Amino acid sequence: LKMYGEIITIGDELTSGRTVDLNSWYAAGRLTASGLGVIRVTSVGDDDQMVSKALKRASASSRFVIVTGGLGPTEDDMTCEIAAHALNRPLRLDTQMLKKIQEYVALRGMEMTPFFEKMAYMPEGSRMLNPEGETCGFSVQAEDVRFYFLPGVPEQTRHLMDTVVLPELLRLYERLPVVEQRVIKVYGIDEIRIAQRLRHIKPKTEGVILGFYPNFPETHITLSLKGSGEEVVTARLDAVAGEIKKILGAYVFSTQGETMEAVAGRLLLEKGVTVALAESCTGGLIGHRLTNVPGSSRYVEGGVIAYSNHLKTALIDVNEETLKQHGAVSAETAQEMAKGVRGRTGSHLGLAVTGIAGPEGGSKEKPVGTVYLGLSQGDGLYSKGYRFRGNREQVKQNSAAMALDWIRRHLNGDPFLPGI
Amino acid sequence: LKMYGEIITIGDELTSGRTVDLNSWYAAGRLTASGLGVIRVTSVGDDDQMVSKALKRASASSRFVIVTGGLGPTEDDMTCEIAAHALNRPLRLDTQMLKKIQEYVALRGMEMTPFFEKMAYMPEGSRMLNPEGETCGFSVQAEDVRFYFLPGVPEQTRHLMDTVVLPELLRLYERLPVVEQRVIKVYGIDEIRIAQRLRHIKPKTEGVILGFYPNFPETHITLSLKGSGEEVVTARLDAVAGEIKKILGAYVFSTQGETMEAVAGRLLLEKGVTVALAESCTGGLIGHRLTNVPGSSRYVEGGVIAYSNHLKTALIDVNEETLKQHGAVSAETAQEMAKGVRGRTGSHLGLAVTGIAGPEGGSKEKPVGTVYLGLSQGDGLYSKGYRFRGNREQVKQNSAAMALDWIRRHLNGDPFLPGI
């Protein structure tokens, strides 16, 4: 176990659930991707005793320890003092650090206070990670364990992880076993059914560790394989991924870890198809996701957030008669929205979503979660209804995912997922 | 410390950074809000030894332990076996559980496999948490420590936390000290400047614990106070929150923990103002956020995702001349977009955002992160440019937050945040 490390994140905001711990998530992901194992992640509050315990335990079981939080200028930032005590290293004033802080404070026209000064005291033997930059952090070697202390601010932690900590660790542990990982992403079929369908491939996956992870509204299947010869490992994973893809078919939207919007975007770009959206219940979420992909302006025209019935008629030419007769949440309206937004924008493909996200607005025939999609391209005009479970946010998320799935399946010539 | 509990989350997806640990976040938040302290959160992989260590350590330092993950039907779900071993309780077949699983499998037309059967074995003395429902989970008392084992699926964990675990724990520990917490949310000023501005209120906050948490792109200030007389505690927190609000002024957008979209929505509703959006670089994110609020159809008309220049002219009447002369990312274009979307939709307020989210598209005069906002209501027409730091996603997030901030400040009669 001595080859592995661990992560300790500090802050009352973590143990009280005010903040999601994105620092440990990021650090764990980067370390794993670099072939460095993470055996444990521990979060403790701004509490002398608990922080001290966590540091001592880590020094007994890990080779490297990433610690985040508690380095700032406010009163609850006490990591330096606690670390000094737990690692038996008295606090020492770092003059280089003091100078850096003084410059920082002066540059911003602020006043130098004892809180800022406090930030310049570090456990004896510490080394600043980033002496030139604005971000503070330090490392200290305690016997055969290397500690990295990083700030709690996610952007700063990420910056230091990527530019200093990882390169340093990789230099220290050059001969790590190669661990290759593949993520197969699936939409429209649940974890249990996937496991059932895959149970017969067992003999073909020897050595490959399979994991199944619901990742709402998707499911992710991970393949991991250790080995020192990279080519063999890659070929092995390719074979198993291919086998899984063969069994699950179009449920698989990526074997390369891509997002749904990246897959849809890649297909649109490859086929030279532009898309415009008519979003009702999703409120703009599909557009947001599609435009998260750099370069998406090459295939996303934009579209209309047709939230009110008025905008459905005024901006994308849905017939008032259709709304009256079938309702805003219907196959007919979804079709007219898709056709309308295509006509108004001149895009190749028009995609529409209209539904009841809740908690209000449901009826017996159309309960909360009822969502219709429409798609128009060339002479083709499609629509289908779905019923999603969950709260407002989940219905929106599932509706947007289904819309992205429609783009992929449509451009690949695969049938849409069956609806209601 | 014996009055407090801890959380253990299990899964390779957590220690490898594939998944953000939302289970511990949710459980910690609910426990804290109920007055139950969480002293530690530990995540370990699907590893016999590490899980066992974590369980043993927890039983030595906590009164209750919430464990999530590893209860499913797949091969890597081994929590029951490990718990049985770590807590010295042999595995026993639970016939009630077996029956439940058989029914579940039959209902879905699936085949009963050894993996499903395995789920019916639990450590001796275990009690099913939810014998009637579909979600599995159990509790077991090991000496004076109560363990709760919950599935790793977030929705199921949340359901069991809310309906079974919390009510049970609250019955066990009736005489907990009341801990009241308040979150003051701030936008447009960073943690350090907040701490500087607030340093003089120290004598007025005695007993109240202040915390500062960057929560991109917002900053949250938390106030916590222990005490057994609820009214006194509330009054004390109100007073400190009022003091902070006085010092930070319009930077504070909520003292009640509301989201920016909820605050903007409340104001729109109160003042009877409807809003329409013209989104370029945000791609629909503002609409998505505004429509996350239940009942937002009462004030959100919708709008246009004017991602391409073509849609800016075709759908919301931006002059081609303006685009040519000033560019799509300019104060002039932002104004015309705001005015145009208002005209086309008939909403009271038109709000526009156009900018360069990157990584491409930047220039020397308009680097990545340059974003213009425009607002039109009645005779009023405003615009202003900002320069946001960060990657594509961060620029989008900050742009959307600023747009929501504009709605709030505009309707409150406060000046917009200063720009470039």
Q: List, as one string, the DSSP characters of A382-416.
A: EEEEEE--S-HHHHHHHHHHHHHHHHHHHHHTPPP
Closest residue of chain A to B7, computed from CA coordinates: A15
Q: Residue B231 — pLDDT band, cuts 50, 70, 90?
A: confident
The stretches of B22-135 forming alpha helices (DSSP H) are 22-33, 48-61, 79-86, 95-107, 114-118
Tell me what pLDDT residue B280 has.
98
Angle, vertex CA A127, rays to CA A123 and CA A128, nearest 5: 105
Considering only the beta carbons, identify the residue of A75, A199, A306 that sits closest to B113.
A199
DSSP-based three-state secondary structure for B135: coil
pLDDT in the model for residue B286: 98
Least confident of A284-293, B67-76, B304-313, B387-396: B67-76
| Digit-coded pLDDT (tens) for B339-377 | 999 999 999 999 999 999 999 999 999 999 999 999 999
pLDDT at A3 over 70: no
Residues of chain A contacting B38 with CB distance shorter than 8 Å: 15-17, 45
- How, if at all, do strands A38-44 and A5-10 pair? parallel
Phi, psi of B121 (to 5 degrees): -95, 125
More confident residue, B322 or B88: B322
Q: What is the pLDDT of residue B178?
A: 62
Mean per-residue pLDDT for B10-29?
90
Our CA-based measurement puts residue A354 at a distance from the nearest CA of chain B, in whole angstroms, of: 13
- Residue A364: the pLDDT is 95
Predicted confidence at residue A178, as pLDDT, reads 62
Which residue from A28, A3, A32, A1 is spatially nearest to A146, judged by alpha carbons?
A3
Give pLDDT tens digits for A311-370. 999 999 999 999 999 999 999 999 999 999 999 999 999 999 999 999 999 999 999 999
User: What crossing angle do the helices spanning B230-248 and B191-198 adopt, rounded to 10°?
Assistant: 110
ipTM of the assembly?
0.79
Which residues of chain B make contact with A74, given a CB cutoff of 8 A? 191, 195, 212
Q: Who contacts A219 (Cβ-Cβ below 8 Å, separation ≥6)?
A: A185, A186, A187, A189, A190, A191, A194, A212, A213
For A6-48, write each residue's pLDDT tens digit: 999 999 989 998 888 989 999 998 888 777 889 999 999 988 9
Nearest-CA distance from A81 to chain B in Å? 18
Q: Count the Cβ atoms, other than its own, within 10 Å of residue B267.
A: 17
Q: Which residues contact B354 (CB under 8 A, 6 or more apart)?
A: B280, B281, B306, B312, B328, B329, B330, B333, B334, B337, B371, B372, B374
- Within a 13 Å sphere around the CA of A215, how many CA atoms are in the beta-carbon half? 24
Residue written as token pair 């920082």: A104
Q: pLDDT tens, A209-267? A: 787 777 889 998 888 887 756 788 888 899 999 999 999 999 999 998 899 999 999 99
Confidence of residue A1 (pLDDT cuts 50, 70, 90): very low
pLDDT band at B118 (very low <50, low <70, confident <90, very high): confident
How far is A139 from A122, CA to CA, in rounded Å? 10
Condensed to tens digits (0 to 9), the pLDDT of residues A294-309 reads 999 999 999 999 999 9
Are A211 and B393 an interchain contact pair (Cβ–Cβ within 8 Å)? no
**Chain A residues in contact with B290 (beta carbon < 8 A):** 283
Range scoring the smallest mean pLDDT among A185-199, A275-289, A343-357: A185-199
Contact predicate B48/B12, CB 8 Å: no
Report residue B3's pLDDT band, with 50, 70 and 90 as the boundaries.
low
Confirm if B34 and B42 have CB atoms less than 8 A apart: no
The predicted structure's pLDDT at residue A418: 96
Task: State the pLDDT at residue B398.
Answer: 97
What pLDDT, on a 0 to 100 scale, did the predictor assign at position B2? Answer: 42
* Chain B CB contacts of A216 below 8 Å: 154-155
Distance from CA of B300 to the nearest CA of A (A): 7
Beta bridge partners of A203: none
CA distance B278 to A96: 49
Do B304 and A304 lie within an 8 Å CB cutoff? yes
Min mean pLDDT across A74-83, A363-372, B87-96 is at A74-83
Residues 6 or more apart from A120 whose CB is under 8 A from it?
A: A93, A94, A95, A97, A98, A101
Q: Which of B277, B305, B341 to mutate to test the interface with A (most CBs of A within 10 A)?
A: B305
**Gap from B90 CA to chain A (nearest CA, Å):** 26
Report yes or no: A193 and A221 within 8 Å, Cβ to Cβ: no
Contacts of A286 in chain B (CB under 8 A): 284
pLDDT surpasses 90 at A180? no
Pairing mode, if any, of strands B64-68 and B5-10?
A: parallel
Which position has the higher pLDDT, A400 or A205?
A400
Contacts with B40 from chain A: Cβ below 8 Å: 15, 42-44, 50, 54
Structure tokens at B223: 């106030």
Number of neighbours of residue B219 by Cβ within 10 angstroms = 23
> Tell me, what amino acid is at A282?
T
Q: Return the residue in A12, A13, A15 with the most chain B beta carbons within 10 A, the one to mutate for interface testing.
A: A15
Contact flag B283-A287 (C-beta cutoff 8 Å): yes
